[in-house]
């Protein structure tokens, strides 16, 4: 299994706080059935700055240690990039990096809203053949209030990634139901752990996939894993047409 979103690298952000914690997180990931993880420390979110070279060094060190310890897991380079206006300039200067240096970039919004320059930035990323993957849209207030905004961003070339904890109800029943609805209606394209530690934000991706299979069937889960492989290997992925009906979604919320 492939995980495209994890805070497994030590001492870079609010994820792992030490090499030993990273190794424990790696062991837990393997228990969940994961053998490949894209490390995505926060970048430019107002608190953490983790430019490409720093992440690259950390990935190299952790992979060496994983080999020494005989843990069957490989870590790949990535970032979880908070959307900001000068992102393209930083991409040109290699200060930011895509997921395993592919055409896919993991981006996050502030939790309260979608920045007003997002549509324009997605368009400009598209010109550079970069596909933004929106991290955990189910936790964004503006998207929760108006899911058609997510649909618009997907129609503008974006993809979206739901978090394992959300599917399992870790952020409450409303977010759980909303997440399941996004997966069911092709408004999500990936499931990922977004693991931060071993305690309140552990890796539960295997359990989340199981829940997804029980509720939505094997096709959705298999497609999500196939999509994750496409990201890691830098292939194009098949985008299903989102199912959208305002009446249906209002009925759901009602």
HEC secondary structure over 106-137:
EEECCCCCCCCCHHHHHHHHHHCCCEEEEECH
Query: Which residues does 168 contact at the CB level (< 8 Å), separation at least 6?
Result: 176, 204, 207, 208, 211
Contacts of 172 (CB under 8 A, 6+ apart): none
Q: Closer CB to Fe ion, residue 109 or residue 209?
A: 109
Stretch that binds Fe ion, among 52-60, 73-81, 95-103, 224-232 (CB under 5 A): 73-81
User: Among the candidate windows 58-66, 74-82, 85-93, 148-156, which touches Fe ion by CB under 5 A?
Assistant: 74-82
**DSSP letter (8 states) at residue 35:** -
| Nearest distance in Å: CB 7, Fe ion | 6
Part in contact with Fe ion (CB under 5 A); list of ranges 55-63, 187-195, 202-210, 220-228: 187-195
CB of 151 to Fe ion, least distance (A): 23
Q: How far is CA 88 from CA 91, 95, 99, 198, 218, in A?
A: 5, 10, 15, 34, 38
Q: Scan residues 191-210 and list those touching Fe ion (CB under 5 A).
A: 194
Tell the smallest beta-carbon distance from residue 80 to Fe ion (Å): 5
Q: How far is the CB of 15 from Fe ion (least distance, A)?
A: 8
Which 80-139 residues touch Fe ion, going by CB under 5 A? 80
DSSP state of 252: H
Q: Tell me which residues touch Fe ion (CB under 5 A).
A: 80, 194
């Amino acid at each position: 299994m492939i995980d495209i979103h994890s805070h497994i690298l030590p001492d870079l952000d609010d994820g792992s706080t030490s090499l030993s914690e990273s190794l424990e997180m790696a062991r837990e990931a393997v228990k969940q059935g994961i053998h490949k993880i894209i490390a995505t420390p926060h970048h430019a979110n107002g608190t953490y700055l983790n430019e490409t070279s720093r992440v690259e060094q950390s990935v190299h060190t952790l992979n060496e240690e994983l080999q020494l310890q005989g843990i069957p897991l490989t870590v790949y380079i990535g970032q979880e990039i908070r959307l900001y206006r000068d992102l393209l300039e930083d991409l040109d200067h290699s200060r930011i990096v895509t997921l395993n240096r592919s055409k896919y970039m993991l981006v996050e919004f502030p939790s309260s809203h979608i920045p007003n320059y997002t549509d324009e930035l997605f368009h400009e990323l598209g010109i550079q053949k970069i596909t933004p993957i929106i991290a955990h849209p189910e936790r964004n207030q503006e998207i929760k209030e108006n899911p058609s905004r997510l649909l618009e961003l997907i129609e503008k070339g974006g993809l979206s990634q739901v978090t394992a904890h959300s599917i399992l109800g870790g952020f409450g029943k409303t977010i759980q139901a909303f997440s399941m609805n996004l997966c069911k209606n092709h408004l999500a394209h990936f499931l990922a752990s977004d693991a931060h530690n071993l305690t309140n934000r552990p890796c539960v991706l295997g359990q989340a996939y199981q829940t997804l299979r029980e509720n939505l069937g094997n096709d959705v889960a298999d497609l999500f894993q196939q999509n994750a492989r496409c990201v890691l290997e830098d292939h194009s992925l098949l985008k299903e047409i989102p199912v959208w009906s305002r009446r249906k979604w209002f009925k759901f919320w009602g």
